[in-house]
C-alpha cells in the first residue's frame, strides 16, 4: 500500500480531472436501485475533495453529468438533478469554511432552474476562496464545448472584432469553459471502462490517464494517493526524448 509520505510533494498535480463512473454497477452489486449508487458516490466526492485540499491540489474537475446523460431514463435524470441540488445545499457551507471555490463547466442553461439557482448561490458564496477549485462538469461534453467556442469565435469575426489570422491555440482556449484553468496533468476514470466519454477533449491532449477497476462509490483517499503515485512515476515527454528532459 502506498502511503501519503511516499508521494513527492514537489510533484503533486495541480489539476486532477475525474470521470466518476460505476455508481449504477455498484448499486446493482449491492442489490439496490441505481440512484442508491449515486447517493453513495457523493461520499466519495467528499473524501476526494478533502484529500485534494490536504495534498495541495489546486483544481479538481469532476464529471458529474454529461451531455449524453440526458438520454438516460427520465426518472434517473430527475433523481440526479435532485441529488445535485441537495448535495450543493448541504455541502457548500463546509466547503466554504475549507476555502474551496465552487465552479462549473458545461451547458448551464440546460439544467433545471432549481439547480441553476443553487449553483449560482454556491458559486457566489465561494467566489473569493483561494483554496481548491472544485469544478463540476454538468451537462458538459468536450465536443459541445469546442463547437461552442468555434461559434463564439465565428461571431467575433463576423462582427469584425477579431481577425481570422489571430486565431491560434492560445486564443481558442480563451473561448473554452476552462479558460484560466490549467490543463489537467492527471485524468482518472473509475469502473474499468477505458474511454474518454466526451470529457475535456481539448484539455486532455497531454494528460496522463489513470484507469482503475474500482467503482466510484468505493473510490477514496487511498485510491487517489495510488493514482498520484502512479502519475509521479511516469515520464512526461511532450514529444521530446528522454535525454532532452534531463538537460531541459
From the CB of 24, what's the least distance to ligand IPE, in Å? 3
Which partner from the list ligand IPE, Mg ion, none does 156 bind, CB cut-off 5 to 8 Å by kind? Answer: none
Binding characters for Mg ion, 7-46, by CB under 5 A (x = yes): --------------x-------------------------
Q: How many residues does the chain have?
A: 248
Stretch that binds ligand IPE, among 13-21, 95-103, 112-120, 178-186 (CB under 6 A): 13-21
Q: Does 197 bind ligand IPE (CB under 6 A)?
A: yes
Give min distance, CB of 193 to ligand IPE, in A.
6
Cα 148 to Cα 107: distance, rounded to the nearest angstrom: 10
- Catalytic residue list contains 129: no
Distances (CA, A) of 178 to 113, 126, 136, 204: 23, 18, 11, 12
Q: x/- contact string, 32-71, with ligand IPE (CB under 6 A)?
A: -------------------------------xxxx-xx--
Least spacing, CB of residue 23 vs ligand IPE, in Å: 4
Which class for 60: exposed (0-12), middle (13-18), buried (19 or more C-beta within 10 A)? buried
E strands, the chain, in order: 15-19, 59-66, 101-105, 133-140, 186-189, 208-211
- The string of DSSP codes covering 122-145 is HHHHHTT--S-EEEEEEEE-HHHH
Tell me whether residue 95 or residue 137 sits nearer to Mg ion (CB atom). Answer: 137
The end-to-end CA distance of the chain, in Å, is 33
Q: Is the Cβ of residue 21 or residue 185 nearer to Mg ion in the bound state?
A: 21
223 binds Mg ion (CB under 5 A): no
Task: Decide if 217 contacts 40 (C-beta within 8 A).
Answer: yes
Q: Which residues partner with 63 through β-bridges?
A: 19, 137
Asked about 218 being catalytic, the answer comes back as no
Instruction: Please identify, among the stretches 20-28, 46-54, 103-111, 164-172, the one whose residues bind ligand IPE according to the rule CB under 6 A.
Output: 20-28
| CB closer to ligand IPE, 74 vs 246 | 74
For residue 21, state whether it binds ligand IPE (rule: CB under 6 A). Answer: yes
From ligand IPE, Mg ion, none, interface partner of 197 (C-beta below 5 to 8 A by class)? ligand IPE
Distance, in Å, from the CA atom of 102 to the CA atom of 184, rounded to the nearest integer, reads 17
Q: At closest approach, how far in Å is the CB of 202 from ligand IPE?
A: 17
Residue selected from 195, 234, 236, 237 as contacting ligand IPE according to rule CB under 6 A: 195
Burial of 242 from C-beta contacts in 10 A (0-12 / 13-18 / 19+)? exposed
Give me the active site residues, please: 21, 69
State the residues that interact with Mg ion by CB under 5 A.
21
Amino acid at each position: 500500500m502506498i502511503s501519503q509520505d511516499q508521494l513527492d510533494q514537489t510533484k503533486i498535480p495541480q489539476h486532477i480531472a475525474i470521470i466518476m463512473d460505476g455508481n449504477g454497477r455498484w448499486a446493482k452489486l449491492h442489490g439496490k436501485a441505481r440512484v442508491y449508487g449515486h447517493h453513495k458516490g457523493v461520499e466519495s466526492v467528499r473524501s476526494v475533495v478533502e484529500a485534494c485540499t490536504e495534498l495541495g491540489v489546486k483544481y479538481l474537475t469532476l464529471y458529474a453529468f454529461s451531455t449524453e446523460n440526458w438520454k438516460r431514463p427520465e426518472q434517473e435524470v430527475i433523481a440526479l438533478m435532485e441529488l445535485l441540488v441537495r448535495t450543493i445545499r448541504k455541502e457548500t457551507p463546509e466547503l466554504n469554511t475549507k476555502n474551496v471555490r465552487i465552479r462549473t463547466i458545461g451547458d448551464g442553461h440546460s439544467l433545471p432552474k432549481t439547480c441553476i439557482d443553487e449553483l449560482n448561490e454556491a458559486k457566489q458564496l465561494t467566489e473569493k476562496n483561494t483554496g481548491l477549485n472544485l469544478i463540476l462538469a454538468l451537462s458538459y461534453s468536450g465536443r459541445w464545448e469546442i463547437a461552442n467556442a468555434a461559434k463564439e469565435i465565428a461571431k467575433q469575426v463576423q462582427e469584425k472584432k477579431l481577425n481570422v489570422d489571430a486565431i491560434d491555440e492560445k486564443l481558442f482556449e480563451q473561448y473554452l469553459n476552462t479558460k484560466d484553468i490549467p490543463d489537467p496533468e492527471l485524468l482518472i476514470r473509475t469502473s474499468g471502462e477505458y474511454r474518454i466519454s466526451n470529457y475535456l477533449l481539448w484539455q486532455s491532449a497531454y494528460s496522463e490517464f489513470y484507469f482503475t477497476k474500482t467503482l466510484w462509490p468505493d473510490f477514496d483517499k487511498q485510491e487517489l494517493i495510488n493514482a498520484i503515485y502512479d502519475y509521479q512515476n511516469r515520464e512526461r515527454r511532450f514529444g521530446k526524448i528522454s535525454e532532452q528532459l534531463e538537460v531541459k
